[in-house]
Structure formats: structure tokens, C-alpha cells
Amino acid sequence: MTAAPLDNPKRPLPPPKPARPSGRWRQRVRGIRGVLSRWRASRWALLAVPTLLVLAMDLSARPAKVQSFGGSARLVYVASCVVSAGLWAGLLGAAARRGGLRRHASHLLLVLVAIIAVGAQVYTFARYHAYMNHRAVLVGTSMLPSIGQQLWSDRGGFARALLPPAVVALFLPLAMRFLRPTRRRRTGLYLDVATVCLLVSLLVSPSRGAEQGTLPDVMYLSAMGQLGRARWNHNETVERLHPGPRTPAPLPQLHATPARKRNVLFVLNESVRAKSSCVAFTPNCTNTPFSNQAAPQRFPLLQMRTVDSTTAISLLVMWSGNAPEVSRDQAHRAPLIWEYAAAAGLDTAYWTSQNMLFGNSGRWLESMHFTRGAHAAELEESPPLETGADDARLVDRVLADVPALKQPFVGVVHLSNTHFPYRIDPGDAPFQPEGEDPSFSHRVEILNRYHDAIYHQDRSIARLIQEVRKLAPDTVIVYASDHGEQMFEKGSHSHTGTLFEPEVHIPAWVDAPPGTLTDAEAKGLTRAKDAPVTSLDLFPTFMDLLGLWDAPEVRPFRREIPGESLLRGGSSPDVPHVMSNCTGLWACAFRNWGAIAGRRKLVATQSDQDWLCFDVVADPEEEHALPKAACADLIPVAETLGRPF
């Protein structure tokens, strides 16, 4: 049989396809890809990119801190770099495989870890000048709703912090697949490396190195591991970090012998600093003009400072007189001002717009019985954790309750709206432009919003003063703030992070109607006007006004009360006192310590390499540190709670 010729017309060949043109750019990309795919080092270089970026970020954010690591602390830091490199290389290699479900799962995990372990740390450092570590996370376990609300208030800044690491994690695997995808048989090895490094981050104790002595991504994962361990073991560490239920020491029956007939009303504000308020009467007051006019004859306390900048610690100091460094047991056993008053047969009241879920306040006061009272959840439905219920509604409730109190009485009006994110009325906001973004680039707007909140709230404070004068004319009003507020003067925003002046120098004054003070008491308050006094002196002042300070039955309790009555001039400026936001009652997220004696103040944060000494009267902005020798006698006092440098 003869084969058919190739040119058989019965089976014609198909016409040739036209050549597909290839542009120059396509040829160049193919060429580059071919060269790079043969250069294996390019692949290893991409695997190291995430850790190199995190390391560069850390070195640029805190160069002095990293350079200060020595000995074992330096080894731990280097080890954290190795762990970080293994974690990111493993996730990145697995995300760059040729195909399959594991590639997509690994890629998603890579992006999520980048967001939470890097982006969240970028945001935290920008806000607090310290990274989120295991201490901060343990503090945050009872305040997760608060943290969520804060992030929502600053969602723009939070998104800007999360976006860069998310973008890098999204596109790096694409670049690796462009060069040469991971072979499927090697994907398991990459995942094994990532798993081992993740377990090391989660399980190894962070206390082996220096404070904040690892890369920020490893530090975050370590914090999550410590939190998980505490939860799994039902560890009481989480509870010990916050105020718990009180078991106050029993008080004997007391007999009040005040020098004059008078009620005592303590108006306690939230996060208001002295420089944002008119402490003494000022004809042209702008920030607090209404209370300024309502109490023109008040006794100002121009050099009043708190010994902390945390609400929970301030409440202990102001309501019990105890110093911040007392043990947790002592803090829970110390009687509060209302308990002393009740032991003397006086009516008591506590009105607050604070949300009692915030900082375990509700648990701390759950054993208290007040004659009259109210809290945020009674004033409005679902009040925010930070700003609480409307202070104007609180004042309405106070004025409704005062006539029902038997005089003399002791009451506390605890305000809340000046806490971040600062509750304002847009129709009553003279400081413009204002905004909620607390980042440094919007420091003008957030400061204006803060001042608008103070201005709007001041209307309610003035109304409270004026109406109480009508309802209970013999009422001595003591006004103070629990702490101040920093507006980037020392690098950050908010409070609890430092003991610098914006966070501890507070407005304080006493307004006493004619006839409610003796001449000696008025002279004592006059002497205290320019004297450097502290919040430790407030509780003795309340007790003195009630006629209980000199009661023989109170003397055993006075051993734990270092302050002195402002009616007698306040504490001696030669007596040093501990300052700290890190105590047995409240464990701070970012540690700081100090001591104060008169106008000399010694402070340090966990980021400082040594103590800083200031004369807060001569240098109120704390721009010129004194030689450390000028505060030599304060160093042992400060190191009662702090670290010895």
C-alpha cells in the first residue's frame, strides 16, 4: 500500500498561526526573571526582608534604648532577631509555594501576623513611646472594651499604623513567586520553622532579658503567650494588677467635732491639668470661665501635684490618705472617707458619671453604702467606658439629692467627661479647629478638643457651685483633678505613662463660704497657696473639715497616712514621698517611678537610662534637669518601688 503524499489535496495542512508580537517590556521582564531565578541569593534576601524592616524600625524608634543593652540582655535581643527571622522566613516561604490551599492559608496568616505583631506595635509606640509587652497585655485583659473604644476613636491613626506592614506582607510572597515559587516538598519545612519560632516566642519567659528587651514583633507574641498561660492556669496575676473587692478595717464609733458647722463636698475631676485651668481667680479666664466666676473668693493651691497619674491610684490616695506604695492588702483594708464619716453618724454621698466597669471601680467600691448616690449607668443607657455619662446629668442628680441629706454631710462628685476622647458639645466649643485624632501630627486639634471638653464641663461645675450654695449654704467645696493630661509636651499623649508635670500638676482649690472656716484654718490655706503640696494632703484636709483628724480613735489609722491637713498649711516640703503608677493596687502598662519633696522631683520611665531631677517651681516645663546630686536624698525613696539604675 502506497502512502499518500504529504501534499495530498484531500488533507490540506492548516495555515500557520501568525507570530504573536512581544513588546520590549515583556522581553525585559522575562530576562530579569531569568537572571534572578538563577541567582539563589535573591530568594534568601527576600526571606530576610521582614525581620530587617522590623529591626530598622526598632533601631530608628529607640536607638539609645537598644544600645544600652549589655551582657545577657544583648544576647536575648540578638536571639529575638533570630526567632523573628525564622518566623517570617517560614511564613513567607510557605506563602510563596507553587499552588494549593496551604499557600493561601500561609499568605493570610502572614498578613494577619504582620498586622497584629508589627502594626499594633507601631501604633502603641507612637502613642506611649514603649511597645506592648506582657505587662501591658495583662493590664488590658480587664479593659478590652476600653481598648476597643480607644482604637475606634483613633481609627485613622490605627489604620495608618497597620497599613504598611499589611502591604509588605501582601506583596512579598508575590515577589518570591515571581522569582521562583517554593517547591511543594519544601513547604512543610518552611512551616515547621515558622511553628518552632512561634512557639519559642509564645512560651519563653520575657523576663529573661531587659525590660522591653526584644524585637517588637517577638515582644508582642510573647505577651500573647503570657496572657494565654495566665488564662489557662487561672493565674491570679491578672486580678492582682487591678483594684479588687475591699475588706475595710473596722472603725470604732467616732465623734465629729468640727471647728465650725459645715458640710464637705469634694468635686473630683478627670484628667484636667493645672495649665489648662484657672486655679486662682483670673479676670480674663478662658478655659474655665464659669467656675472662675462662681467661686471668686476661693483659696487656690497653685503648686498641688499628684503622686501618680492613674485614676485608680489617685482614688486610693485622695479617699484613704494612703501612699501609693502601700501593699495591695493595705490598699484594700484602708477605710475611705465615707466610712470614717459613717462611723461618726454623718450622711454620705457618692455621685459619679464614671462608668464603674472602667478599671474595676465597681468591684473596689461594691462594699460601700452611701446615703445617696448615682453612677453612669443610672444616668444614661450604655455610657462610654472612658468619658462616662453626661456630667450635666450628674449635676442634676446631685442637686436633686442634696436636700435629702442630713447636714452635716460628706459627698463626692466624681466627674468624667474630660477623659479621652473628651466629650464635647459642638455648639459650645470655642477652641477650633478640633478633632479626635490623638496623633502628634494632629496635636493642635486634639488639644483644642481637650480644652473644649473642659470649657463645656465647666458650665456644669459652675451650676453645681451656685446651686449648692442655695441648697446647703454651709458647704465647703474642695476641687481637684485625679491627675493631669499630657499633650505631647514630653513625647506622648494622655496619662499614666510618666510623672512629668503635665500629668501630675493639677488644679486644686477650696471654696469656703464666710463663717465656715476659722481664722487659723483660713491662714493655713493661704500659706498653702504657693507651697508645694501633694494629693496626699487632701484626705487629712477632709478629715480636718469634718472634725475627725484629731480624734483619738483615728490615731492608729494615721500611721498609714503621710499627708497633713491643708487647713494647717499642708505637708512639710522636706518630707519626701514616693511617686509611681506601678503599685500593688494597679500594675502599670509602661513603668515609671519617682519621688517628690517640696519643689524637687525625681522621675524616670522604663525608657530612661538614669534618674532625672527637676526644680518644678523654677522650671515648670522641666526642660533643664538638675545634677542628680541635687536629688540624692530622693533616690532611695524613689527606688522603694522602682529599679535601681
Task: Render pLDDT for 510-548 as a digit per residue (tens, 0 to 9).
Answer: 999 999 999 999 999 999 999 999 999 999 999 999 999
Higher pLDDT, 161 or 345: 345
The answer to whether the CB of 421 falls within 8 A of the CB of 271 is no
Alpha carbon distance 566, 524 (integer Å): 6
Beta-carbon count within 10 A of 260 CB: 15
Q: Tell me, what's the pLDDT at 552?
A: 95
Cell numbers 477623659: residue: 419
Confidence of residue 21 (pLDDT cuts 50, 70, 90): very low
The answer to whether the CB of 43 falls within 8 A of the CB of 179 is yes
- The fold for domain 263-568 equals Alkaline Phosphatase, subunit A (3.40.720)
pTM of the predicted model over 0.85: no
Picking from 114-118, 329-333, 341-345, 448-452, which range would have the lowest pLDDT averaged per residue? 114-118
- What integer is the mean pLDDT of 477-501? 93
Nearby residues of 539 by Cβ (< 8 Å), 6 or more positions away: 317, 318, 319, 320, 321, 337, 561, 563
Q: What are phi and psi of 137, to 5 degrees?
A: -70, -40
Q: Is the pLDDT of residue 136 over 80?
A: no
What one-character DSSP code corresponds to residue 119? I
Cell numbers 509564645: residue: 202
CA-wise closest residue to 544 among 526, 565, 562: 565
Identify the helix (H) or strand (E) that includes residue 17: none
Give residue-wise pLDDT tens across range 47-99: 888 999 999 999 998 888 888 888 888 899 999 999 999 998 888 888 877 66
CA-wise closest residue to 400 among 456, 467, 474, 475: 467
Q: How far is CA 592 from CA 83, 359, 607, 612, 629, in A?
A: 29, 19, 9, 12, 20
Residues of the chain with CATH 3.40.720.10: 263-568
Angle at CA 62, nearest 5°, toward 57 and 63? 95
Cell numbers 444614661: residue: 380
CA-wise closest residue to 566 among 538, 599, 532, 546: 538
- What integer is the mean pLDDT of 628-638? 95
Q: Is the pLDDT of residue 170 over 60?
A: yes
Confidence of residue 181 (pLDDT cuts 50, 70, 90): low
Q: How far is CA 57 from CA 125, 164, 397, in A?
A: 11, 12, 51
Alpha carbon distance 554, 591 (integer Å): 34
The answer to whether the CB of 600 falls within 8 A of the CB of 633 is no
Pairing status of strand 475-481 against strand 600-605? unpaired
Locate 611 and state its grid cell. 534618674
- What integer is the mean pLDDT of 215-222? 90
